[in-house]
């Protein structure tokens, strides 16, 4: 098979990549493909990232997507290729990633179940490091519909509607959680315009004083009946009170009600607090995503 590769262009490419990821996850659910919602968040979260600079699409002679590379910054990459892709295609994707990095210390984020990519990395002298990300999953089909969280008196959940005041507060909360953050009001509007976004899954916990104290953003892929939460956070002034777990439970419940049978959350293994939070919300550790470097 012959192929070419080119930079990401426009919204048409975004829709094609969403469909590609959905198809890959349906065909090989244990191989560790990222979810369509992951891509929605990665490309929509700020105004600094320019998709044509960090997404390279590999396609066949009729324009069918065979895979893509997401690299931001250039020295870090996620490689997604169709199930059963040839060694030659994976080698070409790695060669592109190395050339973009312009540095021998390229790191590739790789799920332990992606045997083909791991073999390609070894061919290119990459070595698995000790740094890894935990993938947690909630299986609603087996574990049942998550229960309604029991909130403190005066607290409530809100979906982020088109209220300018609410959207401003949501951006402010995100920036406080992830300081320093590049998320801005206009970037958040861009994110909300994504076809993958559902405002009813963009949920914040409102404190008794009316301030937003924690939030989680859910994404769902109807084809694979899989949900993902990204990002998740609690305001630094309100941590250690179980509020993050409550909002995770609520978004988990909403995803399950929309038909998600698997709900995914990921966090670095070094983030012990987040690992405990997700486990306390009923999520189970189902594997790791490793950093491979050379």
Question: For residue 211, is it within any domain?
Answer: yes
Question: For residue 146, is it within any domain?
Answer: yes
Kindly give the interhelix angle for 36-44 and 185-192, rounded to the nearest 10 degrees: 150
Q: Are 126 and 108 contacting, i.e. CB atoms less than 8 angstroms apart?
A: yes
Choose among 50, 44, 71: nearest CA to 202.
44
- pLDDT classification of 105: cutoffs 50, 70, 90: confident
Residues 226 and 269 in one domain: yes
Establish how many alpha carbons lie within 13 A of residue 76's alpha carbon, considering only the half-sphere containing its beta carbon. Answer: 5
At 183 the pLDDT is 92
What is the CA angle 146-269-24, rounded to 5? 65
Is pLDDT at 104 greater than 80 in this prediction?
Answer: no
Question: For residue 92, is it within any domain?
Answer: yes
Question: For residue 294, is it within any domain?
Answer: no
Is pLDDT at 204 greater than 90 in this prediction?
Answer: yes
Residues 276 and 233 in one domain: yes
Is pLDDT at 284 greater than 90 in this prediction?
Answer: yes
Q: What would the mean pLDDT of 237-255 be, rounded to a whole number?
A: 96
Residues 156 and 277 in one domain: yes
pLDDT tens digits for range 249-267: 999 999 999 999 999 999 9
Residues 116 and 222 in one domain: no
Question: For residue 291, is it within any domain?
Answer: no
At 29 the pLDDT is 83
Token pair, residue 192, equals: 């909300």
At 270 the pLDDT is 96
Q: Which of residues 88, 117, 134 is at a domain's end? A: 134
Q: Which of residues 134, 163, 187 is at a domain's end? A: 134
Domain encompassing residue 184: 138-286
Q: Which of residues 90, 112, 134 is at a domain's end? A: 134
Residues 148 and 95 in one domain: no
Residues 209 and 108 in one domain: no
Compute the radius of gyration of the chain from its Cα atoms. Answer: 19
Residues 130 and 190 in one domain: no
Question: For residue 111, is it within any domain?
Answer: yes
Residues 109 and 148 in one domain: no
- pLDDT classification of 109: cutoffs 50, 70, 90: very high
Distance CA 74, CA 3 (A): 23
- pLDDT classification of 125: cutoffs 50, 70, 90: very high
Residue 33: give its domain's CATH number: 3.40.630.30
Residues 115 and 152 in one domain: no
For the chain, the domain total comes to 2
Question: For residue 202, is it within any domain?
Answer: yes
Report the SS3 class of residue 160: coil
Residues 23 and 47 in one domain: yes
The residue written with tokens 């949900």 in the block is 227
pLDDT tens digits for range 34-51: 999 999 999 998 888 999
Token pair, residue 33, equals: 């493909």
- Checking DSSP bridges between strand 76-81 and strand 156-159, what pairing results, if any? unpaired
Is pLDDT at 187 greater than 90 in this prediction?
Answer: yes
Is pLDDT at 103 greater than 80 in this prediction?
Answer: no
- pLDDT classification of 175: cutoffs 50, 70, 90: very high
Question: For residue 293, is it within any domain?
Answer: no
Residues 120 and 177 in one domain: no
Residues 219 and 239 in one domain: yes
pLDDT tens digits for range 53-84: 999 999 999 999 999 999 999 999 999 999 99
């Amino acid at each position: 098979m012959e192929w070419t590769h080119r930079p990401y262009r426009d919204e048409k490419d975004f829709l094609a990549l969403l469909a590609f990821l959905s198809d890959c996850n349906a065909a090989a659910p244990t191989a560790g493909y990222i979810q369509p919602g992951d891509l929605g968040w990665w490309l929509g979260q700020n105004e600094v990232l320019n998709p044509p600079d960090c997404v390279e699409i590999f396609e066949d002679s009729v324009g069918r997507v065979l895979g893509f590379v997401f690299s931001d910054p250039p020295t870090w990459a996620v490689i997604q290729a169709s199930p059963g892709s040839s060694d030659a295609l994976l080698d070409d994707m790695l060669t592109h990633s190395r050339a973009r990095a312009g540095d021998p210390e390229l790191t590739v984020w790789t799920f332990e179940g992606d045997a083909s990519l791991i073999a390609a990395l070894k061919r290119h002298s990459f070595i698995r490091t000790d740094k890894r990300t935990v993938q947690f999953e909630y299986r609603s089909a087996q574990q049942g519909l998550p229960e309604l969280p029991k909130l403190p008196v005066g607290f409530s959940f809100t979906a982020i509607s088109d209220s300018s005041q609410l959207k401003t507060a949501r951006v402010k909360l995100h920036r406080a959680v992830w300081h320093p953050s590049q998320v801005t009001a206009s970037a958040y509007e861009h994110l909300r315009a994504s076809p993958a976004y559902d405002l009813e899954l963009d949920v914040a916990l409102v404190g008794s004083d009316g301030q937003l104290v924690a939030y989680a953003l859910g994404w769902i892929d109807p084809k694979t009946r899989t949900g993902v939460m990204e990002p998740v956070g609690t305001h630094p002034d309100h941590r250690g009170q179980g509020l993050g777990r409550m909002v995770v439970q609520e978004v988990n419940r909403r995803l399950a009600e929309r038909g998600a049978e698997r709900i995914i959350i990921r966090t670095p293994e070094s983030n012990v607090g987040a690992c405990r939070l997700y486990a306390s919300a009923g999520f189970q550790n189902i594997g790791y995503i490793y950093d491979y470097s050379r």
